[in-house]
Amino acid sequence: MTETTMNSAKPSLLRGFDLKAAGPAIALLILCLIGFLLNPAFLSEGNITNLLTRSAFIGIIAVGATFVITAGGIDLSVGSMAAVIAGVMIIVMNSAVDTFGTGVTTVLIGCGCSIILGLGAGLVNGFLTTKGKIEAFIVTLGTMGIYRSLVTYFADGGTLSLNYDIRGVYRPVYYDSFFGLPIPVWVFIVVSIAGWFLLNRTAFGRYCTAIGSNESVAKYSAIKVDRVKTLTYVIQGLCVSLATIIYVPRLGSASSSTGVLWELEAIAAVIIGGTVLKGGYGRIGGTILGALILTTIGNILNFTDMISNYLNGTMQGLIIIVAVWLQRGDWGRNKSAD
Amino acid sequence: MPDGQSIGVPILSADGISKSFGSVPVLFSVSMDIRAGEVHALIGENGAGKSTFMKILSGFLQPTSGHIRLDGVDTELPGNGQSEALGIVLIHQELNLAEQMTVEENIFLGREIMSRGVLDRATMRAMVRGYLDDIGLDISPEDRISDLSIAQKQMVEIVKAISRDARVLIMDEPTAVLTEAETELFFAQVRRLKARGTAIVFVSHKLAEVSAISDQVTVLRDGQWIGTHAASDVTPDTMAQMMVGRELSDFYPPMNEVDVDADRVLEVRDLVAPGVHNVSFDLRRGEILGFSGLIGAGRTAVFEAICGLIPRERGAITFDGSSAQFGSVAEARDAGVVYLTKDRKEKGLLLGQKMRPNLSLFALPKFVKGLSVDRKAEDAALERAIRRFDIRARDPNVRVGDLSGGNQQKLLLAKVMECDPRVLIIDEPTRGIDVGTKQQIYHFIAAIAAEGVSVIVVSSEMPEIIGLCHRVVVMREGEITGVVTGDHINETEIVRYAAGLKREHQQ
């Protein structure tokens, strides 16, 4: 609370807007400080790398979700989509072993398959919402159920496991480092930069924002609304497939419990980051911070005995509610009036 | 009118009302007496403080200083619409109806009649039917608000006020979206209310209407009270002068004659679309072509169909000598045909965003350099637009929703002009904006036409059609009933075609 009082003096200099934009960064710093005070090992290189790697899945998916939400949509299917893509990837790679052996080729086939599935699944969501004129919430609730049951069906209710030899080849994608950073973190960084550029610097990003602000205005301004909206779901699908590609080598398996609740974590990361849920304003930088915040909470709980690890969801829930409350425009004014 | 009544104590009076928002003063000691059975018009340019003053009169805002007297007694009006209980009802410009509920449910919203613990729908329905019959409005109590026209929604608001036994009815531009016929119907109702002793405060930019319906006229300018006059003592011209504070000569720009043999830029033949039947017309280079008619005559649909906003069923469109079947707004824009919507808040501008992204949105492909949007070019374009169209914003980073209506309209015009159109279609160019800005917009339109752009002006305001256009097409019920040219452009002629009293047989 001391931080908020300190900051309430600043808006006059920086204008209230910057405070809002800096909010997630301040929150993350505070969390890191708490983590460090509770256990100095929190800031050890090993833990930081671990934290970043774990953030990568949700982070990459959340970058995609930022586009969907900015354009006024929502995608609830991403967790199930990741599970079904992981499952199909494993099946495809296992059956490709006979023809292509256990080398890099098979892994590449699996990755290619993942990307095609991700794009395809995004396209389906996009078409059903735009051409089918069904609300995104309903469409993706439907596909969420379908994908989840498909992976259960493919795994016959159990677990799909990757061929042991391929696992050896594929393993480095999750566990190896490159210039001191694990590969998933690099993928996260690249996706984030690309996402930031796309949303903030290109015409496409401008169109997403315009559609989320007011679809009629977008339509009357010569924006191909259906096409742009569909593309946001395709981008979301691509992000899910990239996240899956780096997730599969971690455990080398997929089951009906893979990716459960990822959709909510992704949406939470987006909202904590300052993107407006009803669309029209999106922040990739905020989304990345949001993903880091969510992972950091879990990580801190692992480090201490003060709060049970089982309360991870409670802490995340509280953070989401507080984040949205802080983003309400009148907060700054109320503070200064006190 | 009974003389004794108008001399008696006013129902509601404002005495020396001042209001500041933070350190910004918007009203300076404004006074106004509102008497029973009187229509009191409140006029002034956008930003003159009319809206603030109305909100103070109806309790939505409290004055910084000054007194409100109700029946001669100093009163602090309760906020949030609770003044309705005192008989003071404000009808907002943005209508305040629950779109998904029925007429009956809306009228009784918040004070439903109950019988044995459940809603007494039969009684409420019968009462609403009575009100509707009274006002001569041909809708059913069970109709959903979302299915009504804007004019009908307006009437429902008035019925709602009547049903609440309003003593003072404050209306913010009630006629802005009404056609002349609807306005007449509306005025008939206002006269009926007046006869019943209701006091009516009426804000309008249509000065001819103010003359026609009002007893008193109060003029505000820049938050100052300029004067209150009996409506019979002032002409629309003097009212306009009091509002603007200067002589309004050259209200309409001088008309440049179009070359008789100027190219035909746009030819439309037998266009059929939802609400449009066999419409054919030509547009020449540099011409300002007016489209007149009642609201709902299908004028907007014609141009939405041409620009690919709504589907076409049949018809040939020729642009620049070659067939032009635009499948999307983008195609029309790329060819040089742009449509400026009449609904600037819902379809024209992103109110939550700044001016820059709004300005470049329509012509965005033009601003893309390599992969990204060229922000420098956007900034330069904004600077040019602000200069060319005299857009007044206290700072360029202001949200567009915070600009005045006139400045929003100028920005919208600048936005479509960024596409460098060859045919500019403007639907209701001056809806809800003040006299001074109207005049500016007329001059902009004339200048654009003088540069060789062909302009189509769709308007329900007769004077601007007459003052601005070389030729006027009149529509009625989805068809063109006549085309008026040159000296024949006058109100009577247009009204005859619009009302279906006269019709040309086109071939």
Whole-number pLDDT of residue B301: 94
Whole-number pLDDT of residue A329: 56
Q: Which of A202, A213, A224 sits opposite B330 (nearest CB)?
A: A224
Q: Is A209 exposed, middle or buried (0-12, 13-18, 19+ CB in 10 A)?
A: buried
Q: Which of A202, A213, A224 sits opposite B350 (nearest CB)?
A: A213
Does some domain include residue A315? yes
CA distance B160 to chain A (A): 30
Does the beta-carbon distance from B330 to A223 stay under 8 Å? yes
Does some domain include residue B428? yes
Q: Which of A202, A210, A224 sits opposite B350 (nearest CB)?
A: A210
Does some domain include residue A54? yes
Does some domain include residue B249? no
Q: Which of residues 144-203 of A touch B (CB under 8 A)?
A: 197, 201-203
pLDDT in tens, B283-293: 999 999 999 98
CB-based burial, A98-109: b 16+ in 10 Å, e otherwise: eebebeeebbeb
Whole-number pLDDT of residue B115: 84
CA dihedral sign, ordered B252, B389, B93, B167: negative
Q: How much is the mean pLDDT over chain B?
A: 87
Do residues B174 and B276 share a domain?
Answer: no
Do the beta carbons of residue A279 and residue A69 sit within 8 Å? yes
Does the beta-carbon distance from A220 to B361 stay under 8 Å? no
Does the beta-carbon distance from A217 to B350 stay under 8 Å? yes
Spell out which residues of chain B touch residue A201, defining contact as CB-CB under 8 Å: 371-373
Write out the DSSP string of B414-444. Answer: HHHHTT--SEEEEESTTTT--HHHHHHHHHH
Q: How many other CB atoms are found less than 10 A from the CB of residue B168?
A: 25
A281 at interface of B, judged by CB pairs closer than 8 A = yes
Q: How distant, in Å, are the alpha carbons of A187, A332, B40, B109, B153 from that of B160?
A: 60, 38, 21, 9, 10
Whole-number pLDDT of residue A103: 85
Does the beta-carbon distance from A222 to B353 stay under 8 Å? no
Do residues B389 and B441 share a domain?
Answer: no
Spell out which residues of chain B touch residue A222, defining contact as CB-CB under 8 Å: 328-330, 332-333, 362
Do the beta carbons of residue B468 and residue B310 sit within 8 Å? no
Spell out which residues of chain B touch residue A220, defining contact as CB-CB under 8 Å: 309, 329, 339, 341, 347-348
Do residues B121 and B162 share a domain?
Answer: yes
Does some domain include residue A312? yes
Most A CBs within 10 A among B306, B350, B371, B397, hence the mutation to make, goes to: B350
Do residues B377 and B310 share a domain?
Answer: no
**CATH number assigned to the domain comprising residue B331:** 3.40.50.300
% of chain A at pLDDT higher than 70? 91
Q: Which residues of B touch A (CB under 8 A)?
A: 309, 328-330, 332-333, 339, 341, 343, 346-353, 357, 360-362, 364-365, 367-368, 371-373, 415
Whole-number pLDDT of residue A57: 92
pLDDT in tens, A188-229: 999 999 999 999 999 999 999 999 999 999 999 999 999 999
Whole-number pLDDT of residue A333: 44
Q: Which of A197, A209, A219 sits opposite B329 (nearest CB)?
A: A219
Does the beta-carbon distance from A220 to B347 stay under 8 Å? yes
Q: Which of B352, B365, B367 sits opposite A213 (nearest CB)?
A: B352
Does the beta-carbon distance from B309 to A220 stay under 8 Å? yes
Do residues B57 and B77 share a domain?
Answer: yes
Does some domain include residue A8? no
CA distance A333 to chain B (A): 12
Which of B183, B214, B244 terminates a domain? The answer is B244
Does the beta-carbon distance from B352 to A281 stay under 8 Å? yes
Does some domain include residue A337? no
Q: How many separate domains does chain A show?
A: 1
> Which of the listed ranges A158-172, A236-250, B214-228, B391-405 does the model predict with the highest average pLDDT?
A236-250
Spell out which residues of chain B touch residue A226, defining contact as CB-CB under 8 Å: none
CA nearest to B354 within chain A:
A210
CA nearest to B417 within chain A:
A221
Whether B87 shows a pLDDT value over 70: the answer reads yes
Do residues B50 and B174 share a domain?
Answer: yes
**Sequence-separated (6 or more) residues with CB below 8 Å from residue A33:** none
Domain range holding B133?
3-244
Does the beta-carbon distance from B330 to A214 stay under 8 Å? no
Does the beta-carbon distance from B351 to A214 stay under 8 Å? yes
Q: How confident is the model at residue A332 (pLDDT cuts 50, 70, 90)?
A: very low
Do residues B178 and B306 share a domain?
Answer: no
What is the Cα–Cα distance from B263 to B146, expressed in whole angstroms? Answer: 44
Whether A312 shows a pLDDT value over 90: the answer reads no
What is the Cα–Cα distance from A49 to A43, expressed in whole angstroms? Answer: 10
Does some domain include residue A290? yes
Mean pLDDT of B144-156: 84
Does some domain include residue A33? no
CA distance A215 to chain B (A): 8
A219 at interface of B, judged by CB pairs closer than 8 A = yes
Q: How many separate domains does chain B show?
A: 3
**CATH number assigned to the domain comprising residue A180:** 1.10.3470
Q: How confident is the model at residue A336 (pLDDT cuts 50, 70, 90)?
A: very low
Do the beta carbons of residue B85 and residue B128 sit within 8 Å? no
Do residues B331 and B237 share a domain?
Answer: no
- Alpha-carbon torsion, ordered B288, B293, B298, B303, to 10 deg: 10
pLDDT in tens, B360-379: 999 999 999 988 999 999 99
Name the more confident of A138 and B116: A138
CA distance B347 to chain A (A): 4
Do residues B18 and B130 share a domain?
Answer: yes
Spell out which residues of chain B touch residue A216, defining contact as CB-CB under 8 Å: 343, 346-347
% of chain B at pLDDT higher than 70? 96
CA distance A324 to chain B (A): 18
Spell out which residues of chain A touch residue B365, defining contact as CB-CB under 8 Å: 203
Whether B338 shows a pLDDT value over 90: the answer reads yes
Does some domain include residue B16? yes
Spell out which residues of chain B touch residue A218, defining contact as CB-CB under 8 Å: 361
Q: How many other CB atoms are found less than 10 A from the CB of residue B397?
A: 11
CA distance B339 to chain A (A): 8
Which of B420, B444, B464 terminates a domain? The answer is B420
Whole-number pLDDT of residue B405: 85
Whether A6 shows a pLDDT value over 70: the answer reads no
Q: 3-state SS of chain A?
A: CHHHHHHHCCHHHHHHHHHHHHHHHHHHHHHHHHHHHHCHHHHCHHHHHHHHHHHHHHHHHHHHHHHHHHCCCCCCCHHHHHHHHHHHHHHHHHHHHHHHCCCHHHHHHHHHHHHHHHHHHHHHHHHHHHCCCCCHHHHHHHHHHHHHHHHHHHCCCCEEECCHHHHHHHCHHHHCEECCEEHHHHHHHHHHHHHHHHHHHCHHHHHHHHHHHCHHHHHHCCCCHHHHHHHHHHHHHHHHHHHHHHHHHHHCEEECCCCCCHHHHHHHHHHHCCCCCCCCCCCHHHHHHHHHHHHHHHHHHHHCCCCCHHHHHHHHHHHHHHHHHHHCCCHHHHHHHC
Whole-number pLDDT of residue A18: 57
Mean pLDDT of A3-25: 52
Whole-number pLDDT of residue B489: 86
Whole-number pLDDT of residue A238: 97
Does some domain include residue B356? yes
Cα–Cα nearest to B286, from B484, B442, B456: B456
Does some domain include residue B253? no
Does some domain include residue B343? no
Do residues B172 and B92 share a domain?
Answer: yes
Name the more confident of B252 and A10: B252
Most B CBs within 10 A among A208, A216, A217, hence the mutation to make, goes to: A217
A220 at interface of B, judged by CB pairs closer than 8 A = yes
Do residues B238 and B272 share a domain?
Answer: no
Does some domain include residue B303? yes
Domain range holding A289?
38-326
Do residues B328 and B378 share a domain?
Answer: no
Whether B394 shows a pLDDT value over 80: the answer reads no
Does some domain include residue B342? no
Q: Which of B351, B362, B372 sits opposite A221 (nearest CB)?
A: B362
Spell out which residues of chain B touch residue A207, defining contact as CB-CB under 8 Å: 364
